[in-house]
Amino acid sequence: MARLFEKTRLGTLELRNRLVMAPMCMYSCPEQDGRVKDFHVIHYGARALGGVGLVICEATAVNPEGRISPEDAGLWNDDQIEPYSRVVDAIHAGGAKAGIQLAHAGKKSRGTPHPSAPSPIPFSDDYPAPKEMKARDIDQVVHDFQKAASRAVKAGFDILEIHGAHGYLINSFLSPLTNQRHDEYGKDRMLILDQIFAAIREVIPSTTPIILRISASDWAEDGNTPESLARDLSRGVLERHGISGLHVSSGGVVMAPITPYPGYQVGMAHTMGSQLNTKIIAGGMIDCPDLAESIVHEGRADFVFLGRALLRDPNWPLRAANRLNADIDWPRQYLRGKFSP
């Protein structure tokens, strides 16, 4: 049996395989109310039916200022819970576990004319200079993550992912390139993460796993590297709060040239995994089932994430199982399509 299709634990959850749908913003809340729609129910339900073990729903803003775009999904008020619970039900009906990425866009927010960040450094010439956050602004964001996490659990999500990647708010605290504060948040760049995890743990069941998405490399001189970030994370912030996994991405902190290729972030993920005692989700431009299988077979990661491959084909996992001769359970209704005639 291909290792990709082994049942595998992520915290307290047992996933039916090692395939994770990466969070992908759909910018599909046209009323700008942050409430997910029928589109989201169909979109996420289809990927669950298509066989991934875990669906992680898109970056979901913890407050309106934290939206990447005005059409983003949100969990900043209770009216947003019920529509998301329909998405969760669809994912469960498709046989997958349901995760959600909680996010704040920080300096890259297009949801507010006055974005905020740890230091007043704009992302690029196309973005306004962000407001430097005061301690009380940080307290408010921590509180907003806490409330959004509590709503996510009420909506039925099995696992929460904190968005600490791609140059958004948390990532801009974690990177030395964008956090140039002289207070406690500058001296300990992990502090905001510590506070967010602690606040969330207060309001969710102890059995609900939390994972963290990170940018392992800023792809820029003096920025984070997999080694430096692993060192910072190994000082206790993951263990103190029982963080079950790291979802390893890269970039987005500063404008930097990247030349991606299939699996280009897997080496970074492996480096971090070898220094930290937590499950690793790796990926980036994965489309070939054999490459996905080799990543877990060789122990470079515990899980493989798929982004755009699942936009092209929601049934990628079912096809991959055929390709890898893995005799997995197909949806009963689709059995006649399991093998080509």
Ligand X SMILES: Cc1cc2nc3c(=O)[nH]c(=O)nc-3n(C[C@H](O)[C@H](O)[C@H](O)COP(=O)(O)O)c2cc1C
Binding site for ligand X (CB under 6 A): 22-25, 58-59, 101, 163, 165-166, 213, 249, 283-286, 306-309
Task: Give dist(CA 261, CA 197) in Å, integer.
Answer: 33
Contact 152, 100 (CB under 8 A): yes
Q: How far is the CB of 332 from ligand X (least distance, A)?
A: 29
- Phi, psi at residue 193, to the nearest 5°? -65, -45
In this complex, which beta carbon is closest to ligand X, that of residue 99 or of residue 273? 99
Distance (Å) of CA 237 to CA 49, 212, 234: 35, 11, 7
- For 182-240, where are the alpha helices, taking DSSP H only? 184-187, 191-203, 226-233, 237-240
Q: How far is the CB of 185 from ligand X (least distance, A)?
A: 22
Q: How far is the CB of 91 from ligand X (least distance, A)?
A: 16
Q: How far is the CB of 281 from ligand X (least distance, A)?
A: 10
- Phi, psi at residue 87, to the nearest 5°? -65, -45
Contact 159, 209 (CB under 8 A): yes
Tokens of 105: 């866009």
Which residue from 251, 254, 256 is spatially nearest to 285, judged by alpha carbons?
251
In this complex, which beta carbon is closest to ligand X, that of residue 286 or of residue 321? 286
Q: How far is the CB of 315 from ligand X (least distance, A)?
A: 16
